[in-house]
Chains A and B, each alone.
Chain A
Amino acid sequence: MKEVKDKKDFALPEIVLIGLNHKTASVELRECIAFSEEEAATTLEALHGHPVIREVILFSTCNRVEVLLVSDNRSEAVETAKRLISEYKTAPIDSFDDALYIHVGDKAIRHIFRVVSSLDSMMVGEPQILGQIKGAYRAATEIKTSGVILNRLLHRAFAVAKRIRTETGIGDHAVSISYAAIELGRKIFGTLGEKKVLLIGAGEMAELAMEHLLRNSVGEIFVSNRTFERGLELARKFNGQAIQFEEIENCLQCVDIIISSTGSPDFIITRDQVKKAIRKRRNCPIFFIDIAVPRDIDPKINRLTNTYVYDIDDLKGVIDENIKDRNREAVKGERIIDENVIQFRHWYNNLDVVSTIVALRNKLDDIARVETKKTLQSLNHLSETDCETIRRMTNAFIKKILHDPTLFLKSHTKHDPKTICLDVTRKLFKLDE
């Protein structure tokens, strides 16, 4: 019963998460609190230097700033984190205190799983967050501010994120204009493989759409711009061919996908032009993506056979629907997270000194009992007292063997947590099975 009495001295530290995100803080505030990589590194070291904080990782993306830490003294750790953030970002604590959330234990574990799996993102299922968290984690491991507990937690979180991505459809449906356009293209053409694309005008969104198309390996590319020089520049960028603005009408005969985003107040392509072109191209389908406002492509073209026109509002409509689908899938993700929180909690609870020593002794006792029994069965000539002596001897062995490791694991000081040794012990003797 001695162990139980000791328990208080070896109490497990707590996992604490403190932070703010797009749901609790305005974009101005997030901008003000966001950390650059160097800032994050110095802040991490400062946090880690504090005696109550054993392990710490800091995430800072455009939608969230969060500090994940392991501490024996929750309230002091939280105060320290707040104070350091306020000092480094020269912002008074009052300015961001209301936006902060603090999660402890299971809640913190669940929160980190949700963040990494992109269930807590502004756009549920967006894939960048995983890379961002991996980067922040790497930064923390480089300066060794993360230890056994957070390493395990983050690795588990990455595994959970992967599982959610493969088992649910949270990443399935296109939620950006360019992805939506490609999805539609696939529904019309089947594969985009040899389809020719014409880009009319320049603009960030049009170029983004073009890059997505390129990644999906389309066929030949044509670029047309009012100023031919700019057109040439873009053509070089996309490895395509620049054509004059006047040539667009002829070009309609051969291209299959047209992305348009010019600043023109009038339609660039009219219904009559397309009608003629469609006849010449023997009714092969043609797909217009009109990203311009005001529009470049006459919407009446959509009524012609085998032509499909999607403008920016249509594409936004597609995206809204897909977001609804993703949110439905996210529910399945939550279930996977629940499972993993329980598993992690199990591992974490066992990381305690007392339970490790007990588990170790039980394991050795079991082995000794089985082996002595086997041996005694073949030694029939021994009397009951002899057997008892042998049993006592094996017990003494175990006691002697375990004496030093037990002392070592118990010799726990504030700055030398035995979590690493505990973890190694559990692995070495396979105590978690």
Chain B
Amino acid sequence: MTALLDAPPYAPRDDARFLAEASALTRAHLADCADYARIWPDFMDAATVEDLPWLHVGLFKQIHFRTASPGLTHQRVLRSSATTSGTSSQVALDDKSSALQARSSLAILQDFVGAERRPLIVLDDAGALRQRGQIAARVAAALSLVPLASTTTFALDATRPDHTQWSAIAAALSGAASFLVYGFTWVLWQRWARGAMPDDVRALLRTRRGHFVHSGGWKKLEAEAVAPEVLEHALLDGVASGSQVIDFYGLVEQNGVVFPRCAAGARHVPRWAQIVVRDPWSFAALPPGQPGLLQFINVLAHGAPYHSVLTEDLGQRIAGDCSCGRGGPRFTLLGRVPRAELRGCANV
């Protein structure tokens, strides 16, 4: 496992292989994770992906699942950002899954931004990298772009909350034809689109092609009545043609599988993952076009049973082919279940 990663993410799918791998992974978690086995004691096999057991994302705040399969070495714990209750999801990362997840996120992001290495500007403090035994979701998101970076510049300073290191950004941009910027959606708006950008940085940007990658939610922007197209216009105004804004949705409980929004407004599922939309009352699987709870399945998660999770996010599958040209299942994100706990990292 898993040869599914050997082809591009939106190449033709091998759904039989996916189901076989997902079923085998489920059995491995049942054998080596007692907490998981207590929840799904009777699972034997799945005839369809809809039959695969799932865990509700809320459980990852309560139980620190860990699958102790032979040969796995657990590393850091991936933590979601704070929620309204002050608790965060915790996912135990391991060496095998981390390698697969790095391949996955790189392949997905390359499909959207290209494979060339270029300066990466992260709108965060480098201090966020310095944590023992854990890694924050926003750092993991930024790190997924590092393999595409020639240099990495963290442009904020936690000790100076209103300060953006524009001179470091200018230094990163000089000598490069293109660049990448990653930040939480709100931070990208506040510090870049609405930031006090010096003239020398504006001049550098005019001749450079950029990809602005953001995640982490629209709540604060909605409060300021900033629509996605307003953010996009603000970011693309003043940079070279061919620049793009990419809004990606991801969950710590699906680490390594991110869902950037394509030009047609859809989010595509790579061939090593699958989506099921479930009725919020009966949990029955719903066909394309019907909104429900999003369940995501992947075959990358070995260190804990986060390979199949039911989220509190609402969406619907889209039937037919996408005008962007990417294949495989796709969906639109509609929001969160009313009264669901607000999350810091889900991009809704």
A and B together in one complex:
no
